[in-house]
Structure 1
Amino acid sequence: MSVPSFGSPLVRTPGHGAPTIVHITSEYSPFARSGGLAEAVAGLARVQVQGGANVVVFLPLYRTVRDCAPDLAPLGRPISVDLGYRSEEVRFFREVRAPEGPKVVFVDIPSAFARGGLYGEHGRDYADNARRFALFSRAVLDAIPRLIGGPVLVHAHDWHASLALLYMRTYADLRERFAGTPTVLTVHNAGYQGHFPASMLPECGIPPEVYTFEHAEWYGRINFLKAGLTFADMVMTVSPTHATELRTPGGGFGLQEVFQWLGNRFTGIINGIDQQVWDPSRDDQITAMYHADDPTNKAKCKAALQRSFGLPQRRRTPLFGFTGRMVAQKGLDLILNSHLVRHLDAQFVFLGAGEPRYEAALTALAQARPLHVGVQLEFTDRLEHRLMAGADLFLMPSQYEPCGLTQLRAQRYGALPIGRRVGGLADTIEDDVTGFLFDAFEPPALDWAIQRALARFHHPAAWLPRMKTAMLRDFGWDRSAERYAEGYRRAIDIARRRA
């Protein structure tokens, strides 16, 4: 296929230096976000640039991008991308006044991404998600040699980008072009794998010879994540405990044998947070700033949060916060069936949106307990900061939690988390030191942890040292980036041997 030149590369790697890191992701903060994926990829990419790496991020040009980046400049002329039986015209854009940091390339495929949602609308996925993200992955691979001069390392994130790794190893032209290119796949949430009917094979350009148990087939359906896992040089997930869980029948979401097969090519690395953004001593989005040595102003933040949610201003009444997607994974069933949540003389505030059944149940609970429960279904970054600053305790009774970011933020703000001993919660919350953990996925177990937490909260001599310890925890990206660099080096070695 004849392709027009893009002119000067967006990035050129000098000599035989380290390759340019190419992140392929369906979410990236602040442009497109539905959960922790967007912030995790953005945080990693930023710290990699700060460490001296060349980094390029490829992201679909959703409608939401225009809200954050209204001025976009084209990168060369449109190209035609062949996938299955059809071709699509694809354009690439960048911000006109891009800030320092990773270079972000927006992949413009109007037929696939000029829509109201990222993955669906009104609680339902788009019917053509398989082709949407297959086309995105294929377009990125065509763009890389046009925009980046020199070697690259391809880092795909979750199922949405997994087919890029399959295409690189199965298409003759791509296999030759990327013969020595190392590949990495990060699994942010294995509960979402990209399952689609086998009839979508031609639409997605998946060669039928890889629709096998060894690669892309899973119980008679296509599994995008499995395909990526079997073609990646290295695989990461977002906490060491979750890496162990994914190798078990109870925690592997049906892919435990694949994670076991990966052996030492699979590891877990904790996510980080931007500690400049999540710092109560410099956060201009909260009512009053405070720090670990003098958390006095947290009381002002608590009073403001109570007002925002229409609750009485009671300084010594424990205030529990929850923010996140309102889905089964986050433990909403435990919260709604908790005896203490329904009867305790405490306050509970809920921020976020999700499944209609949970939104309705929480709204009904707030109507039944108007002095104790407040619900805000319209999420904003500002309100999330104010919730962290005002809450005494933070609920995370997750069914599973690959890493979790909110418990990291909560600790920084002195809101001690109550979470299940799973995944990243087990790795980042120290029981009865910086938070409180429980094991069984049952309402009584959550109530037991709440009682333990309140026993400390009602005794300031016990509570304040724990709050200070939590606020001083280091959850920055530096150490995580070092571990990613180690994984990259291993992927490079594997790719060299393969080439």
Structure 2
Amino acid sequence: SCLVCSSSSSKNSNNGGDANGLLKEEEEEKFNDIWLLFKEAQQNILYLNKLRLVAVEELNKANREKQLLLDKIQQLEAVNKLGNEQSLWRELLLRIDSMVLTGLIDSAEASGMRKAVMGNKFSVALVFFDIRQKTDAELLAQLRHFSDGSRKNGFHIIQICTEMEPLVSVGSLSSYVTGLSKALQKKGHIVEVILPKYACLDLTEMQGLREIEAELYSYFNGQLHGNRIWTGIVHGIGVTLIQPLYYSSFFDRERVYGYSDDFERFTYFSRASLDYIAKSGKQPDVLHIHNWETAIVGPLFWDIFVKQGLGGTRVLLTCHGFDSQCLEQPDKLALCGLDPARLHRPDRLQDHTMTHLVNILKGGLVYSNKVVMVQSIYSKERIINSFSHGLEPTLAIHKDKLLISPCGFDNSIWDPSKDKFLPKNYSADDLKGKSICKVALQQQLGLSKNSSTV
């Protein structure tokens, strides 16, 4: 009996020990599980905190980008608003021209309206914001209520030319006309451009293109001939296009230059431009003409048009070189209404070498108030003596009115401060990099450092 009890007691004791061991193991497992859960929770919390920090940073970044975008939008809206305002008052000037040509108003009233618009151009947008929805008659009623008390600021300049970027571009003249017009307008001057309506014109960037509902008649070859007049805005510049009707083939061609009748073509255009200016009642301060193609404007202006309300206008001729001059028979001057006998003289249009012919570019030099030679290398004396192509006697006589203009560039097309292909960038404010670029170019061309060619 005692043995049985002892044995039973021993078993119970062992069972109790096993139970305690199991209990301890279970507690340890629970503790380990809890610890693992705690560590996982800590890791999750750390991960969530990391995600929160990333999210906050992303949110801050998005807010910064949003603010930058809003600032950019405001800048673009300001630029767009300014551009729209500038286009609006220039388009308004073209509509006034239309009213004169259609007989709604006379030249005197048109002149007063132009002064009103040019003197109040920044308030024009508030008054004439719906200009394109109005007919000329409706617009006229509104214009007559518009104050004309302010004076005109700056000069009124009309460029009569054969190229303008981006409408038609053959050489450097096109970018020169556009760049100069934009620069002058930034300084507060009013600039208009008159061009032939070539068949090859690229009109994709012209805004508000419209045909004036009246034919302009211009003189040529003993008769008056009708022309269609088109107006529009290019880069904020008012542009007028002249389209001949009877002589429609003059500009309905693939090329701009290089035809046997180029003299007739551009003489017709030059005369039609002056007829348009006179009939529309414009009184520009400056007529800006270019190369031989519109040089005939000089003699035409002083012999015929100066007494047609243009007494305050002066003529400026720009030449991109004297190598192209256009020599013609004197009798051809009569095509546009000029007197050959009056102009075929040594001090006027007679060519110095081929004295039986007239020199059209020479006529522009003689009859212009100022002559600008676009040249970036040579001095005035060097040009007259070495690069005048037979015009040396004329240039020597008119030396005082000859100006040399350096070749410029439009930094919206090319900017040396941003060009990644230059060895060193530079700008008007910091020219240090320019000398480095010069040395690099000299080395590339094999020139000495002291060379003045570059």
Is TM (by shorter chain) over 0.5? yes
In the superposition, relative to structure 1, how do residues 278 and 165 fare at CA in structure 2: closer, same or farther (>3 Å)?
same
Secondary structure of the structure 2 residue equivalent to 1:168: helix
Root-mean-square deviation (CA), in Å? 3.5
Q: Is 1:135 the counterpart of 2:258 in the alignment? A: no
**Match among 189, 207, 213 for residue 321 of structure 2:** 189
In the superposition, relative to structure 1, how do residues 6 and 29 fare at CA in structure 2: closer, same or farther (>3 Å)?
farther
- The aligned counterpart of 2:383 is 246
In the superposition, relative to structure 1, how do residues 200 and 151 fare at CA in structure 2: closer, same or farther (>3 Å)?
closer
Query: Equivalents in 1 of 2:181, 2:161: separation in Å?
Result: 11
Whether the 8 Å CA contact 2:212–2:230 is kept in 1: the answer is yes
Larger radius of gyration: 2
Query: Equivalents in 2 of 1:196, 1:139: separation in Å?
Result: 20
- The aligned counterpart of 1:72 is 209
Q: CA deviation at 1:146?
A: 4.6
- The aligned counterpart of 1:198 is 330
Query: Equivalents in 2 of 1:432, 1:290: separation in Å?
Result: 14
Q: Is 1:94 the counterpart of 2:192 in the alignment? A: no
Q: Which has the higher contact order (CA 8 A, sep 6+)?
A: 1
Whether the 8 Å CA contact 1:28–1:41 is kept in 2: the answer is yes
- The aligned counterpart of 1:260 is 396
Q: CA deviation at 1:176?
A: 4.3
Q: CA deviation at 1:242?
A: 5.4
Q: CA deviation at 1:76?
A: 4.4
Aligned partner of 1:111: which letter? S
Aligned partner of 2:332: which letter? M
- The aligned counterpart of 2:128 is none
What pairs with 1:481-492 in structure 2 (closer than 5 Å)? none
**Match among 251, 259, 274 for residue 126 of structure 1:** 259
Whether the 8 Å CA contact 1:56–1:102 is kept in 2: the answer is yes
Query: Equivalents in 2 of 1:430, 1:269: separation in Å?
Result: 25
- The aligned counterpart of 1:451 is 446
Whether the 8 Å CA contact 2:379–2:404 is kept in 1: the answer is yes
Q: CA deviation at 1:6?
A: 7.1
- The aligned counterpart of 1:5 is 103
Secondary structure of the structure 2 residue equivalent to 1:48: helix
**Match among 233, 239, 254 for residue 116 of structure 1:** 254
What pairs with 1:394-409 in structure 2 (closer than 5 Å)? none
The percentage of aligned residue pairs carrying the same residue is 22
TM-score (norm 1): 0.54
- The aligned counterpart of 2:63 is none
Q: CA deviation at 1:67?
A: 4.9
Question: Any unmatched runs of 5+ in structure 2?
Answer: 1-99, 120-150
Whether the 8 Å CA contact 1:11–1:148 is kept in 2: the answer is no
Query: Equivalents in 2 of 1:430, 1:40: separation in Å?
Result: 27
**Match among 353, 362, 366 for residue 230 of structure 1:** 366
Secondary structure of the structure 2 residue equivalent to 1:175: coil
Secondary structure of the structure 1 residue equivalent to 2:228: strand
In the superposition, relative to structure 1, how do residues 201 and 137 fare at CA in structure 2: closer, same or farther (>3 Å)?
same
Q: By percentage of residues, which structure has more helix?
A: 2
- The aligned counterpart of 2:239 is 104
- The aligned counterpart of 1:19 is 155
Query: Equivalents in 1 of 2:203, 2:394: separation in Å?
Result: 40
Secondary structure of the structure 1 residue equivalent to 2:295: helix
Q: CA deviation at 1:214?
A: 1.2
What pairs with 1:226-375 in structure 2 (closer than 5 Å)? 226-239=362-375, 241=378, 243-248=380-385, 250-279=386-415
- Deviates further, 156-165 or 60-69: 60-69
Q: CA deviation at 1:174?
A: 3.9
Q: CA deviation at 1:181?
A: 1.1
Secondary structure of the structure 2 residue equivalent to 1:201: helix
Q: CA deviation at 1:150?
A: 4.5
Whether the 8 Å CA contact 2:271–2:336 is kept in 1: the answer is no
Aligned partner of 1:198: which letter? P
Query: Equivalents in 1 of 2:424, 2:441: separation in Å?
Result: 19
TM-score (norm 2): 0.59
Q: CA deviation at 1:281?
A: 7.0
- The aligned counterpart of 1:212 is 345
Query: Equivalents in 1 of 2:439, 2:205: separation in Å?
Result: 42
TM-superposition CA deviations, 1:327-377 (whole Å, max 9, x none): xxxxxxxxxxxxxxxxxxxxxxxxxxxxxxxxxxxxxxxxxxxxxxxxxxx
Q: CA deviation at 1:102?
A: 1.8
TM-superposition CA deviations, 1:118-146 (whole Å, max 9, x none): 01xxxxx3122111111111111122245
TM-superposition CA deviations, 1:307-334 (whole Å, max 9, x none): xxxxxxxxxxxxxxxxxxxxxxxxxxxx
In the superposition, relative to structure 1, how do residues 100 and 34 fare at CA in structure 2: closer, same or farther (>3 Å)?
closer
Aligned partner of 1:81: which letter? S
What pairs with 1:22-101 in structure 2 (closer than 5 Å)? 22-68=158-204, 72-95=209-232, 98-101=233-236
Q: CA deviation at 1:229?
A: 0.7
Question: Any unmatched runs of 5+ in structure 1?
Answer: 120-124, 284-288, 296-407, 417-428, 438-448, 457-469, 471-499
In the superposition, relative to structure 1, how do residues 202 and 101 fare at CA in structure 2: closer, same or farther (>3 Å)?
same
TM-superposition CA deviations, 1:389-419 (whole Å, max 9, x none): xxxxxxxxxxxxxxxxxxx9xxx9x9x9xxx
Whether the 8 Å CA contact 1:6–1:77 is kept in 2: the answer is no
Q: CA deviation at 1:271?
A: 2.4
Aligned partner of 1:83: which letter? F
Q: By percentage of residues, which structure has more strand?
A: 1
Q: CA deviation at 1:40?
A: 1.1
Aligned partner of 1:114: which letter? D
In the superposition, relative to structure 1, how do residues 38 and 185 fare at CA in structure 2: closer, same or farther (>3 Å)?
same
Q: CA deviation at 1:31?
A: 1.1
Q: CA deviation at 1:252?
A: 1.0
Q: Is 1:433 the counterpart of 2:433 in the alignment? A: no
Q: CA deviation at 1:434?
A: 6.4
Whether the 8 Å CA contact 2:217–2:275 is kept in 1: the answer is no
Q: CA deviation at 1:269?
A: 0.9
Aligned partner of 1:186: which letter? T
Query: Equivalents in 1 of 2:436, 2:371: separation in Å?
Result: 27
In the superposition, relative to structure 1, how do residues 231 and 51 fare at CA in structure 2: closer, same or farther (>3 Å)?
same
Aligned partner of 1:167: which letter? L
